């Protein structure tokens, strides 16, 4: 049920990001969503890709530091309070959000939000109980 | 327990050693005084004659020599035998100035083989061993030193030299190498390459590593033993004295036994030149009492260590020196604080049991020295959360601050972004020297 997110260590230096995209491109791996957390010296590039296992393998083979992390992809109604419904469910269940980012889908009235929480199991239960749809992994990879 | 190559020499009583060293020293000083005008002038200047040297206790009467003397006497000025007797030349890399030229007679080459055979035997070697010498061959003493030792022991030497790592590894596997001789940083590189090639170390016959020519920590030793599935011993030496083989650690891992029947060590205060007692840190000084080509007299190594004459549990009575705490000439002085790269390595290995690659970048902002420690990110400590990585940076910073007594800037860098070396590891970039 969890979606495997790929996290990549990127030094703040010219060409490090394109090195990652180059490896993915060469291996025909499509990027579904991404976000970057940056600090002065380095960044963490977080990616949702079509084939995370293969992505990890090819990135490692190219000596890029990479890690797979379980995240939740939550479907949000594209209307006021859409995101609030999900976050309040997590707050009430005492689940912490480590970070989150959104991406657009091809559907018109829905948005997807990627959530990393301190307790993915509990987060999923809390969201489902409040009627928030957690998108199955295979649907995310095959968007 | 590994055998001892020459028990008569390596396990003799202190009294016998004192007698042997005294005899050898007296005749060597007499010979040097007669044959080497440079030494004669130095001794005359200090007002000491060969007749004043009656036993090894009189060693401190003699003048010191240093790299500076070797430079002044370049290339042959300190040779004690005519060039017709010299059969081989080695030299230092000369990165800090003029190269040091060391000349060996036939007997010197045999002596080198003898002391290196002691080292290889302490590593568990014997005539059935397959010894791969992955030190550089050529003017550098590493390659041929290990080579002569292997042959003296009656083992089979494989002179792969350094570099061309994948080919080395194939030979290591196919020929059944049992003892690997190289620098610890190159051994790490070999181990990593074996893994990258997808080979299983258990398919190799490797049993021991004889590593040296650069400082390495106990943590790095354990790492290498795990990585290559071997036992390791430390070999110590310097071109000026003979090359590798001046000393070695035994399986008790309690310091480096010095072949003092040939190379007599002293520890001195680097400031005053006074002799220091056992157990006190100071500069290591050697006097060669059997070498013919280039018999150094009280040569100041710049290596900082201490010695002890307590016998070792391994059975050897040879004097032991501690780990080299640094070299007075590669020691960094940053904002008045003495920093040895090995301290940084120890601190990093306190945090993780995986040895990270690191580089010290020293610079100057205005009049203030800065030290940046670049640490290579590895899968073991990477996290998808910024705060975890910031916590790691903070932890490294704190460890270094308490180890060095100095605030540093810690920078996490991409894997393999720090250049690997196939010889001595480069750990410091000092930008202040421009």
B327 pLDDT band, cuts 50/70/90, is low
Nearest CA in chain B to A98: B385
Tokens of B136: 């550089």
CA distance B92 to A75: 68
pLDDT of residue B348: 85
B383 contacts on A by Cβ (under 8 Å): 7, 67
Determine phi and psi for B364, rounding to 5 degrees.
-135, 125
A81 contact partners, CB below 8 Å, separation of at least 6 = none
Count CA atoms closer than 13 A to B321's CA, side-chain side. 28
**Rounded CA Rg of chain B:** 22
| Cβ separation B379–A63 shorter than 8 A | no
Q: How confident is the model at residue B133 (pLDDT cuts 50, 70, 90)?
A: very high
State the pLDDT at residue B263: 98
**Percent helix, strand and coil across chain B, each to the nearest 5:** 35, 25, 40
The pLDDT of B68-88, averaged and rounded, is 95
SS3 B373: strand
Indicate the pLDDT class of residue B328, thresholds 50, 70 and 90: low
With a cut of 50, which residues of chain A have pLDDT below it?
A: none
Can you give the pLDDT at residue B353?
64
For residue B381, what are the contacts with CB-CB under 8 A and spacing of at least 6? B352, B354, B356, B392
Residue B213 · residue B244 · CB < 8 Å: yes
Q: Who wins on pLDDT, B42 or A104? A: B42
Task: Give the pLDDT mean for B374-395.
Answer: 88
Query: For residue B158, what pLDDT is reported?
Result: 97
Q: Cα(B157)–Cα(B149) distance, rounded to whole angstroms?
A: 9
Domains annotated for chain A, with CATH where assigned, are 3-68 (3.30.2130.10), 70-141 (3.30.70.260)
Q: Residue B332: what are its φ and ψ, rounded to 5°?
A: -95, 140
Give chain A as a DSSP string. Answer: -PEEEEEEEEESSTTHHHHHHHHHHHTTPPEEEEEEEE-SSEEEEEEEES-HHHHHHHHHHTT--EEEEEEEEEEEESSTTHHHHHHHHHHHTTPPEEEEEEEE-SSSSEEEEEEEES-HHHHHHHHHHTTPPBPPHHHHHT-
**A46 interfaces chain B, CB cutoff of 8 Å:** yes
What are chain B's domains?
Answer: 101-327 (3.40.50.12780), 332-433 (3.30.300.30)
**Long-range contacts (CB closer than 8 Å, 24 or more residues apart) made by B67-76:** B67/B96, B67/B97, B67/B100, B67/B240, B67/B300, B67/B302, B69/B38, B69/B42, B70/B98, B70/B100, B70/B101, B70/B240, B71/B97, B71/B98, B71/B100, B72/B38, B73/B38, B74/B98, B74/B99, B74/B101, B75/B101, B76/B101, B76/B103
Tell me, what's the pLDDT at B86?
A: 97
Least confident of B188-197, B227-236, B277-286, B346-355: B346-355
Q: Look at residue B95 and tell me whether its pLDDT is greater than 50.
A: no
Contact B382 A7 (CB under 8 A): yes
Which residues from chain B sit within 8 angstroms of residue A65, using beta carbons? 377-379, 382, 414-415
The Cβ of residue B310 has, within 10 Å, a number of other Cβ atoms equal to 12
Please, which pLDDT band fits residue B96 given cuts at 50, 70 and 90? very low
Complex ipTM above 0.85?
no
Inter-chain touch A66–B383, beta carbons under 8 Å: no
Instruction: Give per-residue pLDDT as tens, B286-310.
Output: 999 999 999 999 999 988 899 999 9
First CA to last CA across chain A, in angstroms? 15
Residue B361 sits at the chain A interface (C-beta within 8 Å): no
Residue B161's φ and ψ, nearest 5 degrees, are 60, -175
- Residues of B whose CB is below 8 A from A99: 385
pLDDT at B33: 97
Q: How many CB atoms lie within 10 A of CB B264?
A: 23
In chain B, residues with a C-beta closer than 8 Å to the C-beta of A44 are 384-386, 389
Higher pLDDT, B291 or B92: B291
pLDDT digits (tens, 9 = 90+) for B30-39: 999 999 999 9
- Residue B125 and residue A141: Cα distance in Å, rounded? 57
Interface touch A63/B413, C-beta < 8 Å: no
| Burial of B327 per CB tally in 10 Å (0-12, 13-18, 19+) | middle
Are the beta carbons of B214 and B342 closer than 8 angstroms?
Answer: no
């Amino acid at each position: 049920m969890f979606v495997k997110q790929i996290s990549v260590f990127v030094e703040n230096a010219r060409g490090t990001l394109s090195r990652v995209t180059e490896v993915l491109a060469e291996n025909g791996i499509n990027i579904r969503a991404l976000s970057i957390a940056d600090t002065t010296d380095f960044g963490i590039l977080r990616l949702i890709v079509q084939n995370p296992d293969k992505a990890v393998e090819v990135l490692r083979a190219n000596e890029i530091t990479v890690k797979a992390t379980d995240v939740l992809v939550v479907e949000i109604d594209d209307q006021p309070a859409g995101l609030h419904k999900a976050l309040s469910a997590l707050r009430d269940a005492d689940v912490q959000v480590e970070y989150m980012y959104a991406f657009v889908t091809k559907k018109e009235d829905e948005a997807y939000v990627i959530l990393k929480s301190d307790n993915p199991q509990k987060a999923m239960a809390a969201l489902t109980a409040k009627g928030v749809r957690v998108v199955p992994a295979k649907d995310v990879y095959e968007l | 327990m590994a055998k001892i190559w020459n028990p008569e020499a390596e396990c003799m009583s202190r009294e016998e050693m004192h007698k042997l060293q005294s005899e050898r020293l007296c005749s060597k000083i007499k010979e040097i005084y007669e044959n080497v005008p440079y030494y004669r002038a130095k001794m005359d200047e200090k007002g000491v004659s060969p007749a004043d040297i009656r036993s090894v206790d009189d060693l401190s009467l003699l003048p010191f020599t240093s790299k500076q003397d070797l430079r002044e006497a370049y290339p042959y000025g300190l040779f004690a035998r005519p060039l017709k007797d010299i059969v081989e030349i080695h030299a230092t890399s000369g990165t800090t100035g003029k190269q040091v030229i060391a000349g060996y007679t036939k007997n010197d080459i045999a002596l080198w083989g003898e002391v290196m055979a002691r080292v290889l035997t302490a590593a568990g070697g014997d005539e059935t061993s397959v010894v791969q010498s992955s030190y550089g061959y050529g003017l550098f003493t590493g390659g041929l030193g290990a080579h002569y030792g292997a042959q003296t022991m009656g083992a089979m030497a494989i002179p792969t030299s350094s570099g061309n790592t994948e080919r080395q590894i194939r030979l290591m596997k196919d020929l059944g190498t049992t003892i690997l001789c190289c620098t610890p940083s190159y051994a790490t590189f070999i181990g990593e390459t074996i893994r990258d090639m997808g080979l299983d170390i258990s398919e190799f016959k490797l049993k021991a590593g004889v590593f040296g020519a650069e400082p390495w920590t106990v943590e790095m030793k354990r790492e290498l033993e795990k990585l290559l599935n071997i036992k390791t011993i430390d070999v110590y030496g310097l071109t000026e004295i003979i090359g590798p083989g001046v000393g070695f650690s035994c399986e008790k891992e309690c310091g480096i036994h010095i072949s003092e029947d040939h190379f007599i060590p002293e520890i001195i205060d680097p400031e005053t030149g006074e002799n220091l007692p056992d157990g006190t840190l100071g500069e290591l000084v050697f006097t060669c009492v059997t070498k013919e080509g280039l018999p150094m007299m009280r040569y100041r190594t710049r290596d900082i260590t201490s010695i002890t004459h307590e016998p070792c549990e391994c059975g050897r009575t040879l004097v032991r020196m501690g780990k080299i705490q640094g070299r007075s000439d590669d020691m960094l002085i940053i904002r008045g604080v003495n920093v040895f790269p090995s301290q940084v390595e120890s601190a990093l290995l306190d945090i993780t049991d995986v040895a990270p690659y690191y580089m010290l970048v020293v610079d100057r902002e205005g009049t203030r020295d800065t030290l940046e420690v670049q640490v290579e990110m590895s899968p073991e400590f990477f996290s998808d959360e910024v705060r975890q990585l910031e916590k790691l940076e903070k932890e490294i910073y704190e460890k270094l601050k308490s180890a060095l007594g100095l605030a540093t800037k810690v920078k996490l860098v991409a894997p393999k972004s720090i250049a690997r070396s196939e010889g001595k590891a480069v750990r410091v970039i000092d930008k202040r020297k421009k």
